[in-house]
Structure 1
Amino acid sequence: MLLIGFELLDRQIVDLAGEPVGKVDDVELTEVDGVPHVAALLSGPQALGRRLGGRLGDWISGVAGRVHPREHPDPLRIPWDLVASHDSAVTLTVRRELLAEPLLEQWLRDHVVGRIPGSSDAGE
């Protein structure tokens, strides 16, 4: 039995090499023979905002939506079959490069980090 709120939510997600991917902000459930199962992990401010609800959740989702080029940005969705283990962190069976890049990270790289002098030399 998996206690989602205790064992998954707010845990760090790391890839096969131990590189950070994000945090588990919400989960997607599916029903099989009347029993709920985790279908995917959701990461990003949109997922967190929906999970929190209320004014704070609306504010978080709203701010995230303002920095994205699309009207309704989707959270990063990681299928459950890519999860190798879950303890103090959720470890994936793949490297982060194989996952879709979260739109917020892409926007920050292009509009904030990319404008910092010398930032293009950081990876060398």
Structure 2
Amino acid sequence: MQLGRQLLDRQIVDRDGRLVGKVDDVEFGVDGDGVPYVAALLTGPDALGRRIGGRIGRLLVAAADRIAEDRPVTPLCIPYPLVERVDSAVRLRVRLADLPASPVEQWLRRHLIDRIPGADSASG
């Protein structure tokens, strides 16, 4: 299927060009006529771990679950209608701030990034 080459592992950027993540998996829906369509893009360690599968995939999901306060960790689900276009990246119609933050990103910000001197004054 060409979908893998066109979407998976592609960078996702918001309407201002800020990095959101990578497309780790795709969620499908089925319309009333039984035709499948791309419903959402999934990003985050849970989505990637499930896609990879096996021992490495389970380890990735377990590590994300361990550091997140809200368990189980779920991937960031971006409804496909929020996609403006797909070219060298997946470009969204919305800003990063309009999307929910992933639990892993929240943990990293709280425990690592916020402890870096000057991180609070960086554009982010």
Structures share fold, TM-score greater than 0.5: yes
- 2:48 aligned counterpart, secondary structure: helix
The alignment's C-alpha RMSD in Å is 1.6
1:22 aligns with 2:21: yes
Q: In the TM superposition, what whole-angstrom CA distance separates every residue of 1:23-67 from its partner, at most 9, and x where no partner exists?
A: 000010011222210000000000000111111110111111111
1:41 aligns with 2:41: yes
* Matched length: 123
- Following superposition, the deviation at residue 74 of structure 1 comes to 0.8
- Following superposition, the deviation at residue 3 of structure 1 comes to 2.1
Aligned position for 2:3: 4
Matches within 5 A, 1:60-79: 60-79=60-79
Q: Distance in 1 between matches of 2:123 and 2:18?
A: 15
Taking structure 1 as the reference length, the TM-score comes to: 0.92
Taking structure 2 as the reference length, the TM-score comes to: 0.92
Q: Distance in 1 between matches of 2:40 and 2:106?
A: 22
The 8 Å contact of residues 13 and 89 in structure 2, kept in 1 or not, is answered as yes
Which residue identity does 1:30 align to in structure 2? G
Note the residue ranges of structure 2 that are not aligned, 5 or more in a row: none
Q: Kindly tell me: are residues 18 and 122 of structure 1, through their superposed partners in 2, closer, same or farther at Cα, counting changes over 3 Å?
A: closer
- Following superposition, the deviation at residue 19 of structure 1 comes to 1.0
Note the residue ranges of structure 1 that are not aligned, 5 or more in a row: none
Which residue identity does 1:50 align to in structure 2? R
**Percent pairwise identity:** 53
Q: Kindly tell me: are residues 93 and 70 of structure 1, through their superposed partners in 2, closer, same or farther at Cα, counting changes over 3 Å?
A: same
Q: In the TM superposition, what whole-angstrom CA distance separates every residue of 1:57-101 from its partner, at most 9, and x where no partner exists?
A: 101111111110122011111000000101210000111111111
